[in-house]
Copies of this chain bind each other. A is one copy, B any other.
Amino acid sequence: MSAFQPDPRLVGDSVPVCDLPLCTVRLMRDGRFDWLLLVPRQAGLIEIVDLDEADQLRLMQEIAIASRVLKTETGCDKLNVAALGNMVPQLHVHVIARRKDDPAWPGPVWGVGQAVARPETGQQELVERLAAAFSGAVR
């Protein structure tokens, strides 16, 4: 089996935040939403059920960590958690901080308008703040 490599489309759309035991965490390059991707670092995964049972549970633990980090750091109104993969089959879980005044509310975020780049310094500060929050959240 070949080694894990994140799909180039995920890499192009996002920047790295940190690694958890199972997943690498990335932030979407879209200033309209605080939007994380969790990508399990195993080659050949498409569905959640392609993970073995222990890693399925680990994935849920990491979804919970990402949920708490986003909720605390953004004060969002709602979390959206989803594994879709219709466009990019490589298994990845979206964890998205939603606000009642965001441009897609109350609909889902996928396919809505065009991503809006963050200023470089703002993005870097957000990545560092999120990485610090993950570091504090992982026991």
**Footprint of B on A, CB under 8 Å?**
46-49, 53, 56-57, 59-61, 63-64, 67-68, 71, 78-87, 89, 98, 105-108, 110-111
CB atoms of A64 and B56 under 8 A apart: yes
CB atoms of B48 and A56 under 8 A apart: no
Chain B residue at minimum C-beta to C-beta distance from A51 = B64
Q: Is the interface of A mostly helix, strand, loop or mixed?
A: mixed
CB atoms of A82 and B83 under 8 A apart: yes
Query: Chain B residues with Cβ under 8 A from A110's Cβ?
Result: 107-108
CB atoms of A47 and B60 under 8 A apart: no
Given A106-B86, A108-B84, A111-B108, CB of A53 within 8 Å of CB of B57: no
Given A60-B59, A63-B48, CB of A87 within 8 Å of CB of B106: yes
Q: List 19 A-B contacts (CB under 8 A).
A: A47-B71, A47-B79, A48-B63, A48-B81, A49-B64, A53-B61, A53-B64, A56-B64, A57-B57, A57-B61, A78-B85, A80-B82, A81-B83, A82-B84, A86-B105, A86-B108, A87-B106, A107-B111, A108-B108
Query: Chain B residues with Cβ under 8 A from A83's Cβ?
Result: 79-82
CB atoms of A82 and B85 under 8 A apart: no
Query: Chain B residues with Cβ under 8 A from A68's Cβ?
Result: 49
